[in-house]
């Protein structure tokens, strides 16, 4: 299995406490964790690399991509999103981590805004639960809460 870990690589550069936890970036920590479990054919790519590190060659050589983003979703080039979507539709696996639910690639694949909202005031006294939202008039399917 050939894995590519994509990371926007922003938090590690601007927050000292995050840089201390992940001196080589979260992508490197994830790569090390996979290696600990015998998954060693792993590459990394980051937002600031040319083509965000996701060249045609990298994408063609990827069986599964892990995507981590949080604060720089809008900096991802639409052409790269289109290329990643094409590979996913061709069968490449995509695992979107953490706040990647609001990444361009996840929203494009889901066909929704992927906004989260919390249902409150449940009759059973529960804490509430997260729900995928779909903005009125948005294209594509998706669950409605």
Tell me the average confidence (pLDDT) per consecutive run of 10 residues in the chain, 145 residues long: 97 95 96 98 98 98 96 95 98 93 90 73 55 47 40
Within 10 angstroms of residue 26's Cβ, the number of other Cβ atoms is: 22
> So what's the pLDDT on residue 108?
92
Q: End-to-end CA distance of the chain, in Å?
A: 37
In this prediction the pTM is 0.79
DSSP letter assigned to residue 111: T
With contact defined as beta carbons under 8 Å apart, do 97 and 77 qualify? no
Sorted by where each starts, the structural domains of the chain and their CATH numbers stand as 3-110 (3.40.50.880)
């Amino acid at each position: 299995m050939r894995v590519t870990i994509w990371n926007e690589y922003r938090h590690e550069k601007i927050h000292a406490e995050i840089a201390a936890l992940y001196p080589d970036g979260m992508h490197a920590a994830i790569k090390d964790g996979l290696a600990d479990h015998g998954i060693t054919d792993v590459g990394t790519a980051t937002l600031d690399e040319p083509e965000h590190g996701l060249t045609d060659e990298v994408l063609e050589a990827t069986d599964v991509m892990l995507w981590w983003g949080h604060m720089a979703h809008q900096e991802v080039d639409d052409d790269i999103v289109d290329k990643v979507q094409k590979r996913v539709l061709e069968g490449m696996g995509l695992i979107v981590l953490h706040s990647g639910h609001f990444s361009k690639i996840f929203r494009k694949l889901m066909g929704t805004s992927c906004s989260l909202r919390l249902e409150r005031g449940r009759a059973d006294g529960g804490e509430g639960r997260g729900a995928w939202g779909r903005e009125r008039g948005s294209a594509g399917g998706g669950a409605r809460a």
